[in-house]
Structure 1
């Protein structure tokens, strides 16, 4: 992934409707006050809407699908055609997400990834250029229109059932768990000193805290836990940057690309782990036929234990987060943006290290505290690696096939059997299918909607995979071994 080519979202959550007032949201060079962005956007949209209505054209899918380039992007949402080419660089979710759906129907992904639709629609109005011709289907002809309708009906049913309403107490308890563990580690250190046995013990306590922080920041990055968007944004910054020491903006940009096109080459950054690992059926064959052998891929299922598990968090994610913050200049303090907290990621991440040095520095010194931080990240890494990879690496990986939203997500994800421990250990990401279908749904409702999703999958012959956790762990290695075999066959064929 070429980090310097990606665009950030100016401090707001990617894929959400929290549109920030930055340099582009000013009038006469002056920043708009809180709440004025909606008014300004509405005036701008209303000013153009009359012209738009008069000049609306009718388009066929054949015409729309031609506009699928980075410099020429059209989307279809609820039969309306939008030219988002000029808006792409201003999109809070980054331009790549829009480009992933250029020339396609984006109705379901639009609904899945945005929370405050009223605000988003204000920004859509000026981009409206036409609508589908009366004889055209609402989706591309290769898609099953009845399946799409049934899925949309399922979502409406879940909305009526209030399945998208977050329970504030649930997430408060998880935050309390994290803070109690952090304080407990410090109290044990104060009581028993910094001996090596105590250090190992508090490292395990901090590891649990860090892993649970990963799951909580995942929630705050997706959901409206609070009614006010600015508090959701602040909460995500606090958990991701202050409690974990990683960039929230980096995570958003990367993670939401994964959500909109999971396991799709080259749109999902999570499967772009070459040249270290080769995943799926296509990439190994491609490398093999080109006689590419950066590493001995025959043994990738073995060095996954030595490299992939222990180094994901302390090396790969940590360095990538720092690189993104530097390249995109996420530092310092800006004016208070619309619904956005003013501190940028580098300031927030710095507070993570300052907190550790204040808390543990008197016992370990500066160098020892740095070692403690990376020991905890090292211990956390296998936990997070297993949880994040077990639901995707063994599943189908392909090039763009322009499938409907339900099929795209179900084919690329699988669930892990429910239990109290599995729910806690995975942060409810054992319900990966439901999470991918409904990213803005709070995790405490996944188990309630799972039977309905399973029933819909059965109706259309989509395999709803649900497996034991240990089998899921093993499937990661088995998938890597299968990919290695495909590479060898292609590499050594004469």
Structure 2
């Protein structure tokens, strides 16, 4: 399986019976033309993002050795996130007709553009799409945080302490997200865990050389370090804030296959309503339910698919969650706090028995 292929576990689960709920919804979506490619949309989206990157580095060169470069760091952090969204689109086969073209574009955006292995990321992301919010199967709920009380109770040592205060630590920890992405990318390529590891390693190396040489040639060492820390931490924070509303605080499933494909995707996902600015800022991921049901649907079609999917869910009695951006963060933090108290309760009970 190439890095940009859809996980076959998802495909098998999707097909199901001809008369299944998902099959009926899929027919409506196809009849509405919502799975058709949008080359013009992606053409101007790519052009705007590349123009932003060019403008950012041009401004960097013009400003020179100055602390005002921290403002440039903020702008480039946002542009890096937009490149990550394009890599996400390519990973889901949304942009080009062939897998090879999507693979190449994904490596340009991910490996060369922002220093993240597209092969590692897509493989990890496919596992998430196959079993979102599922204990033991979704890598996104098997990381630093606990999303279920059972996992919180199983934590010990420093992990238990993190679980206990995870609601307070959540946003500060996002500043380290970019470092985590870079580290995981290098490890995957070093292990040759991606099919195109040699190309990916070359492009990751090219990104690091170009990025660091540009920064340290223009800025003094202290300013250069400050710029890298600011730009990378804000890039990670932006990415974390864009992905946080999607699943945190939604249903956590105990085992893979505990429900059918449609309900597994809808019940574990949350939409964020808003206008064109929200769509652009979150890279279309604010239509998380529609994206999880139809990962290859072009980003531009998700807004049109939303009322169709919401109506269908109402017809079959499946809860459909949609809220504001800030409410989504509040829901996520409340959930993390509630789960985190399980770790604290366990610690207290252990102390009382000693």
TM-score (norm 2): 0.89
**Is the CA contact 2:112–2:206 (under 8 Å) kept in the aligned structure 1?**
yes
Counterpart pick for 1:427 among 253, 258, 283: 283
Between 1:185-194 and 1:453-462, the stretch displaced more is: 185-194
Counterpart pick for 1:345 among 162, 185, 200: 200
1:264 aligns to what SS in structure 2?
coil
1:298 — aligned with what?
A: 164
Counterpart pick for 1:372 among 214, 227, 241: 227
Measured against aligned partners, the alpha-carbon deviations of 1:205-244 in whole angstroms (never above 9, x if no partner) come to: 2111111111111101102422333222111111011111
- 2:267 corresponds to 1:411: yes
1:59 — aligned with what?
A: none
Q: Distance in 1 between matches of 2:53 and 2:112?
A: 13
1:156 — aligned with what?
A: 27
1:310 — aligned with what?
A: 175
Counterpart pick for 1:260 among 130, 134, 142: 130
Number of matched pairs: 348
**Is the CA contact 1:280–1:393 (under 8 Å) kept in the aligned structure 2?**
no
Query: RCO greater where, 1 or 2, for CA within 8 Å and sep 6 or more?
Result: 2
1:390 aligns to what SS in structure 2?
helix
Question: Aligned-pair distance for 1:369?
Answer: 5.0
Question: Aligned-pair distance for 1:453?
Answer: 1.0
Q: Distance in 2 between matches of 1:171 and 1:285?
A: 45
Question: Aligned-pair distance for 1:489?
Answer: 3.0
Unaligned segments of structure 2, at least 5 residues: none
> Larger % of helix: which?
2
Unaligned segments of structure 1, at least 5 residues: 1-8, 17-92, 112-137, 140-144, 331-339
Question: Aligned-pair distance for 1:402?
Answer: 2.5
Q: Distance in 1 between matches of 2:150 and 2:168?
A: 21
2:183 aligns to what SS in structure 1?
helix
1:225 aligns to what SS in structure 2?
coil
- 2:239 corresponds to 1:239: no
Q: Distance in 2 between matches of 1:186 and 1:458?
A: 48
2:66 — aligned with what?
A: 195
1:208 aligns to what SS in structure 2?
helix
Question: Alpha carbons of 1:232 and 1:298: their partners in 2 closer, same or farther (altered >3 Å)?
Answer: closer
Question: Alpha carbons of 1:220 and 1:344: their partners in 2 closer, same or farther (altered >3 Å)?
Answer: same
Q: Distance in 1 between matches of 2:309 and 2:278?
A: 20
Counterpart pick for 1:15 among 5, 29, 45: 5
**Is the CA contact 1:428–1:443 (under 8 Å) kept in the aligned structure 2?**
yes
Matches within 5 A, 1:390-409: 390-400=245-255, 401-409=257-265
**Is the CA contact 1:230–1:341 (under 8 Å) kept in the aligned structure 2?**
no
Question: Alpha carbons of 1:177 and 1:365: their partners in 2 closer, same or farther (altered >3 Å)?
Answer: farther
**Is the CA contact 1:186–1:360 (under 8 Å) kept in the aligned structure 2?**
no
1:173 aligns to what SS in structure 2?
helix
Q: Distance in 2 between matches of 1:342 and 1:487?
A: 40
Question: Alpha carbons of 1:161 and 1:341: their partners in 2 closer, same or farther (altered >3 Å)?
Answer: farther
Q: Distance in 1 between matches of 2:118 and 2:221?
A: 25
Q: Distance in 1 between matches of 2:99 and 2:168?
A: 45
**Is the CA contact 1:415–1:432 (under 8 Å) kept in the aligned structure 2?**
yes
Q: Distance in 1 between matches of 2:311 and 2:193?
A: 47
Q: Distance in 2 between matches of 1:192 and 1:300?
A: 39
**Is the CA contact 2:77–2:232 (under 8 Å) kept in the aligned structure 1?**
yes
CA RMSD of aligned residues (A): 2.5
Q: Distance in 1 between matches of 2:142 and 2:108?
A: 28
**Is the CA contact 2:74–2:230 (under 8 Å) kept in the aligned structure 1?**
no
Measured against aligned partners, the alpha-carbon deviations of 1:15-36 in whole angstroms (never above 9, x if no partner) come to: 33xxxxxxxxxxxxxxxxxxxx
Q: Distance in 2 between matches of 1:229 and 1:303?
A: 39
2:341 aligns to what SS in structure 1?
helix
- 2:41 corresponds to 1:170: yes
Matches within 5 A, 1:278-293: 278-287=146-155
Question: Aligned-pair distance for 1:174?
Answer: 2.0
Question: Alpha carbons of 1:489 and 1:261: their partners in 2 closer, same or farther (altered >3 Å)?
Answer: same
Question: Alpha carbons of 1:413 and 1:472: their partners in 2 closer, same or farther (altered >3 Å)?
Answer: same
**Is the CA contact 1:281–1:397 (under 8 Å) kept in the aligned structure 2?**
no
